[in-house]
Copies of this chain bind each other. A is one copy, B any other.
């Protein structure tokens, strides 16, 4: 028996980059939070503190800023690919480069004026190796609510079950979704960077997720989850699979009968904790497998 180093990686997390592009009077704004993680032949620094294979995380940060100037930023998936490929190509000891980005949206108020949005955050994560690239896009914090068209009944009852059945409830969730793009497995035959219109793909997925939530008459949040995932895959052929984490943000009907008032699904307590948590993947049965771990 020996004690040995297992899987490992290192990098710089949460490099905050704001990139302004000045096209005459009209400026554009990109606001990102960039994380880089490298893995490869890193045993020496762990075992002896020999850093001869360690690119400083400070350098990763510098690279983010320098590349933002040299190449511009574009869509988060593009910028993540650009950075991941750079680290992979220039650092021979690196076997896999992972770059994750959060992108914060801003509404335009004028030629050089903006108001930060807050309804959701767009995310992208790329993993690159010498042989393969994997691109995952996603959204976090998209809070959706239906005031009706949601039921929950016919469930298992055991001795600890007290929940009444309902044919009319609020259904609310804060969508956390990631979807893996097709065409990202084999660098020999495909070119990720030019194949996908990342902006259109993201906007499309955001729309299908939202529409499916709105339009599903829901008998369970699981049903809504599957509807969101399957409708998105149906509409977006570039997506291989999608993972959804949906907290069931409970809204408890207040018992007003003690005050001689009826509460016909009008007055609710918005609960914090506990909450239901529904997690699931919707996939194509012929999707190529992911080659690197990703979110769920």
Residues of B within 8 A of A37 (CB): 277, 279
State which of B256, B280, B296 has its C-beta within 8 Å of the C-beta of A66: B256
Contact A156 B54 (CB under 8 A): yes
A263 vs B273: C-alpha distance when bound (angstroms) = 22
State which of B18, B210, B256, B261 has its C-beta within 8 Å of the C-beta of A109: B210
Known pairs A49-B218, A51-B155, A154-B52; A10 contacts B118 (CB<8 A):
no
Main SS at interface, chain A: mixed
Stoichiometry, as copies per complex, reads 4
Q: Chain A 251-271 against B: per-residue CB contact (8 Å), 1 yes, 0 no? A: 100101011010111111111
Could you list which residues of chain A lie within 8 angstroms of chain B, going by C-beta atoms?
1-22, 27, 29, 31, 35, 37, 42, 45-59, 61-63, 65-66, 68-70, 90-91, 106-107, 109-110, 112-120, 141-149, 151-163, 170, 210, 213-215, 218-223, 225-226, 229-230, 233-234, 241, 243, 247-248, 251, 254, 256, 258-259, 261, 263-286, 296
